[in-house]
């Protein structure tokens, strides 16, 4: 049986680790030439971690992290349901700013944490506007 107190602490630790990974990914994306437009845009239906621009394209970036490969790659954690939640939040962001006709893209950054420096993997066009895998 799980302990609600330790489960809550685990959840808090995961959220803190997730926010730290988002900050690392943001700095890395900036170093790769991305411009950050917004962070953590949330709606009832979903959230997008980072809204960026690369050239003339607005990129909605989902950040996924792992401290090891025992439970698989961070990229493996993007399910169709998760992708659709990102799309819902991205659509809301674009609608609010009159950007629905702009060039839009859904990217994923995998952050691998552990001993030493974090490593990053960027997947451009990781899923489409329907939440379907890569274009």
d(C-alpha 123, C-alpha 103), whole Å: 17
Confidence of residue 15 (pLDDT cuts 50, 70, 90): confident
- Domain ranges for the chain: 4-123
Q: Which one has a higher pLDDT value, 1 or 66? A: 66
Q: What is the helix, strand, coil percentage profile of the chain, to 5?
A: 35, 35, 30
Q: What is the fold of 4-123? A: Trna Endonuclease; Chain: A, domain 1 (3.40.1350)
39 burial level (CB within 10 Å; 0-12, 13-18, 19+): middle
* Percent of all residues in the chain with a pLDDT value above 70, rounded to a whole number: 84
Cα separation of the two ends of the chain: 43
């Amino acid at each position: 049986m799980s302990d609600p107190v330790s489960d809550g602490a685990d959840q808090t630790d995961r959220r803190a680790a997730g926010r730290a990974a988002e900050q690392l990914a943001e700095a890395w994306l900036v170093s790769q030439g991305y411009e950050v437009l917004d962070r953590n845009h949330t709606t009832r239906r979903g959230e997008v971690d980072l809204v960026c621009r690369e050239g003339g394209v607005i990129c909605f970036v989902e950040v996924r992290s792992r401290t090891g490969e025992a439970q698989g790659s961070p990229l493996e954690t993007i399910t169709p349901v998760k992708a659709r939640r990102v799309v819902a939040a991205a659509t809301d962001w674009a609608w609010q700013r009159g950007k629905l006709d702009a060039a839009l893209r859904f990217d994923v950054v995998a952050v691998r944490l552990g001993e030493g420096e974090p490593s990053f993997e960027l997947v451009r066009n990781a899923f489409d506007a329907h939440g379907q895998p890569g274009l």
